[in-house]
């Protein structure tokens, strides 16, 4: 009889199988094979969600080194895995339509999906590190193969920041096990053999640095705008990049349980850094004239909110942070694809082109609706996440919550200003006519918007999934 504990493993590695199949499939069938594998992966995720999550599967992988194959999809990890599978499916649909001879791009999307799902399912620190690196490689290849003229500069910067953080994380991972005396790297064993004293703080700082690069947090964010700006104009690599939520998730799943004393000790400093990141990013976004750089800073501002919630160690704020971490992928990813559609029509990512609403009303309508989700208008999933973060953070530090709250005003300013100058201002004389949405473009923008509205109006399924996981993690602190 089939053991449902194996479902996460199938969900993780099915996209990788699809990636390999894409390379050996005749050109005329590659789109269908990639779409089928992405859809089946999403279907398996729905099965796990319907079952309320999977149990923990733990097998000895390299016993001599204490490395296990421990995976589980439940709570926050299941929510993130579901959104990842959904948006990967959307990315496959758009790549099949937008990218000429899309076989390589489709294979990289599916390969990266395996790494991302593995990150969320891993319950062993070495396994987590392996999937962390596995997801990085397809992202680098997308930039190297499909990027713009200055892609190598962006690639080197991205790789340097990430590898620097990875090295510190690996040192911390090894230290956590050997200084704590755990028999394995499995999370369940590590939590029973915690490192104490100053060593815990130093190991936390190493792990925190790696996660701060991937969130990212100021001042470790410099790679992000160039990464997005130099990626392919379609926005497909950017969608996969927004799904790379290892920073916020790693802090929640591993840092809080393994470094509880250090988390409490550094809470005020880290909350201040997170609030500053959110406000600073929104301010910088306001001055951007390139859509991709604007979206990069908007995403950075959202991650400031996520970090504020996680670092506050308040149950309401942490639930809000995880909610925002998951569902921000929907509308930010869809906005990158919307920008890609604008670029396909007019050949520019400049926010000052003007007048697109005249010929592309549906594209403009869906784009502004996605922006409403991004700036946390009530009725969208983003509102529940950001409001919960502010509500919980206020109980810990009212002034920092107020500082972060100003970001919501700044977000409306930069989003609506850029939308106005792109879609409403007068179109220059002699400009070519702009066509509206056609065929699958409606689904590519419409489906993420529908999901964002659904979980903005009816949040119970996601909150009921996340709340027990958050309570379990925060129990390591003995109350908050």
Tens of pLDDT along 155-173? 888 888 888 888 888 889 9
CA–CA dist 342, 116 (Å, integer): 28
Give the pLDDT score at 453: 93
| Host H or E run for residue 193 | none
CA–CA dist 32, 321 (Å, integer): 36
Residue-by-residue pLDDT tens, the chain, 480 positions: 556 788 889 999 999 999 999 888 888 888 888 889 999 999 999 999 888 878 888 888 888 888 899 998 888 999 999 999 999 999 999 988 888 888 888 999 999 999 999 999 999 999 999 998 888 888 888 888 887 878 888 888 888 888 888 888 888 999 888 888 888 888 888 888 888 888 889 999 988 888 888 878 888 787 888 888 888 888 888 888 777 777 888 889 898 999 988 888 898 999 999 999 988 888 888 878 888 888 888 888 888 888 999 999 898 999 999 999 889 889 888 999 988 888 877 777 777 776 777 777 788 888 889 988 888 888 898 899 888 999 999 988 888 888 888 888 888 888 888 888 877 766 665 456 677 778 888 889 999 999 999 999 998 899 988 989 888 888 877 644
Residue 265 burial by CB count (10 A; 0-12/13-18/19+): exposed, middle or buried? middle
Give the pLDDT score at 480: 46
Q: Is the dihedral of CA 213, 255, 374, 112 positive or negative?
A: positive
| Burial readout 45-75 (b: 16 or more C-beta within 10 A, e: otherwise) | beebbeeebbeebbeebeeeebbbbbbbbbb
CA–CA dist 282, 299 (Å, integer): 9
| Host H or E run for residue 156 | helix 151-180
Q: Which of 278, 332, 322 is nearest to 452 (CA)?
A: 332
CB 125 within 8 A of CB 185: yes
Give the pLDDT score at 216: 82
381-396 and 291-312 are packed helices; what angle lies between their axes, rounded to 10 degrees? 40
CB 118 within 8 A of CB 131: yes
Length of the chain: 480
Q: How do the residues of the chain divide into helix, strand and coil, expressed in percent and rounded to 5? A: 75, 5, 20
Predicted TM-score (pTM) of the model is 0.90
């Amino acid at each position: 009889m089939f053991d449902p504990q194996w479902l996460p493993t199938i969900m993780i590695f099915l996209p990788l199988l699809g990636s390999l199949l894409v390379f050996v499939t005749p050109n005329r069938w590659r789109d269908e094979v990639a779409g089928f594998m992405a859809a089946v992966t999403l279907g398996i995720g729905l099965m796990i969600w319907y079952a309320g999550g999977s149990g923990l599967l733990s097998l000895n992988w390299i016993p001599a080194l204490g490395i296990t194959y421990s995976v589980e999809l439940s709570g926050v990890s299941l929510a993130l895995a579901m959104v990842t599978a959904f948006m990967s499916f959307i990315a496959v649909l758009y790549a099949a339509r937008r990218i000429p001879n899309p076989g390589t791009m489709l294979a990289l999307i599916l390969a990266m999906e395996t790494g991302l799902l593995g990150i969320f399912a891993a319950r062993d620190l070495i396994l987590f590190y392996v999937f962390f690196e596995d997801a990085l490689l397809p992202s680098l290849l997308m930039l190297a193969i499909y990027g713009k003229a200055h892609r190598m500069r962006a690639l080197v910067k991205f790789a340097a920041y990430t590898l620097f953080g990875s090295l510190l994380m690996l040192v911390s991972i090894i230290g956590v096990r050997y200084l704590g005396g755990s028999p394995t790297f499995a999370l369940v064993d590590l939590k029973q053999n915690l490192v104490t004293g100053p060593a815990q703080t130093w190991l936390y700082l190493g792990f925190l640095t790696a996660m701060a690069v991937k969130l990212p947090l100021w001042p470790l964010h410099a790679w992000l705008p160039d990464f997005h700006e130099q990626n392919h104009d379609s926005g497909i690599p950017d969608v996969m990049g927004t799904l790379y939520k290892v920073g916020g998730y790693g802090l929640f799943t591993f840092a809080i349980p393994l470094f509880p004393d250090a988390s409490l000790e550094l809470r005020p400093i880290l909350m201040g850094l997170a609030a500053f990141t959110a406000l600073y990013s929104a301010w910088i976004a306001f001055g951007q004239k390139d859509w991709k750089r604007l979206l990069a800073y908007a995403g950075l501002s959202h991650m400031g909110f996520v970090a504020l919630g996680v670092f506050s160690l308040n149950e309401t704020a942490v639930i809000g942070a995880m909610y925002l971490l998951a569902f921000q992928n929907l509308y930010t990813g869809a906005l990158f694809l919307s920008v890609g559609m604008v670029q396909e029509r007019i050949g520019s990512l400049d926010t000052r082109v003007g007048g697109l609403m005249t010929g592309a009303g549906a594209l403009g309508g869906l784009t502004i609706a996605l922006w409403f989700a991004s700036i946390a208008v009530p009725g969208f999933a983003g509102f529940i996440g950001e409001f919960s973060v502010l509500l919980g953070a206020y109980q810990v530090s009212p002034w920092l919550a107020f500082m972060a709250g100003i970001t919501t005003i700044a977000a409306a300013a930069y989003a609506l200003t850029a939308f106005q100058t792109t879609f409403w201002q007068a179109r220059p004389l002699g400009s070519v006519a702009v066509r509206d949405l056609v065929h699958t473009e409606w689904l590519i923008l419409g489906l993420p918007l529908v999901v964002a509205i659904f979980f903005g109006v009816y949040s119970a399924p996601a909150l009921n999934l996340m709340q027990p996981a958050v309570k379990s993690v925060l129990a390591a602190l003995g109350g908050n």
